Amino acid sequence: MRVAVTGGGGFLGSHLCEALLRRGDEVVCLDDFSTGNPANITPFLGNPAFELVRADVSRSVDVGGRVDAVAHLASPASPPDYLRRPLQTLAVGSRGTENALRLAARHDARFVLASTSEVYGDPEVHPQDETYWGHVNPVGPRSVYDEAKRFAEALTQAYRSHCGTNTGIVRIFNTYGPRMRPHDGRVVSSFVVQALAGEPLTVYGDGKQTRSFCYVDDLVRGIMAMLDDDEPGPVNLGNPVELTVFELAELVLDLTGSRAEIQFHPLPVDDPTRRRPVIARASERLGWVPEVGIEDGLRRTVRWFADRPADIAAALTAIRGGQLDGGSAAEPRLPGPTLAAS
């Protein structure tokens, strides 16, 4: 199978590219590296089954040769990214999604949209299954991401019902693992970086808000199962084991052996208080369940970050001291390779 992966240079996208190559597929990675990292896909560049197209999918999606499937992952996904790039986030959710859908339609290919649990907003129903319509503020600070994904889902469904395109939608819950950017503002990466550096761990609110964390290898298995199926979705992909943010902070301190303190900061606007997926649909229709426990996954993630002290040092200014309370820090310049434009 030949798979086009938009956002293939990002955290999730690069893991998906790697897994597809490992099982013998051909991969076309499309990315403009506005939030992706060239280092993520550098190991694949010598593989004849891998092709890199440097492109902004909001402008165009051009892939030569046959395409059997399209995985649309391109989008800023962390709060600092979409707060810095609100118009680009809306563009990739709208124009970028339609360009990727058109590519799939031209080739009669399977299309899978990487949507998000953010479509549920700050949920009034707990846990969340796919029949829940959500509780979302359409004009709040997070709306550029939430509404971009909600529109992308509607567009994907319209291509399926009106054009006959073979589409599927996955709603991705919190995912973590190696290749997370140390400065991306997500809770796992921030806690691990702060703990390894001996900096105070930044907890928003009282820390009692809950999340469910899925290890990246498990998540990628779910996306691949969706690519291989004709299930329309939406399908939740996430780990249903729920823990508080404070519990996560304590676990990270324990696994790193850090003596850093925990500091509390005001809760950002519209930050969800509870988040946990119902994954019965993924289990029944795709045969998918997560396999990696939180302690095992965090150990692997800590090891990966610990091997990159220069990245940790460069990222500290972006995640120190609760900078997300009403604002966003400038993106640090991290060491790493660059790629020439295709």
DSSP 95: I
- 113 - beta bridge partners? 72, 169
AA identity, residue 212: S
Is 145 in the active site? yes
Kindly compute the dihedral angle of the four CA atoms of residues 272, 283, 157, 130, in this order, to the nearest 10 degrees: -40
The catalytic residue among 145, 159, 176, 215 is: 145
CB-based contact 205:264 (threshold 8 Å) = yes
AA identity, residue 312: I
H, E, C per residue of 124-177: CCCCECCCCCCECCCCCCCHHHHHHHHHHHHHHHHHHHHHCCCEEEEEECCEEC
| Residue 328 CB-half CA count within 13 A | 18
- 112 - beta bridge partners? 71, 168
Both tokens assigned to 253? 């301190």
CB-based contact 236:173 (threshold 8 Å) = yes
Helical H runs in the chain? 11-22, 38-41, 79-84, 86-91, 97-107, 143-158, 187-197, 216-227, 245-256, 280-286, 294-306, 309-319
Sign for the pseudo-dihedral over CA of 23, 24, 29, 34: positive
DSSP 280: H
Tokens 């293939």 belong to residue = 8
Query: How far separated are the first and last CA of the chain, in Å rounded?
Result: 23
Q: How many CB atoms lie within 10 A of CB 148?
A: 27
List the catalytic residues: 145
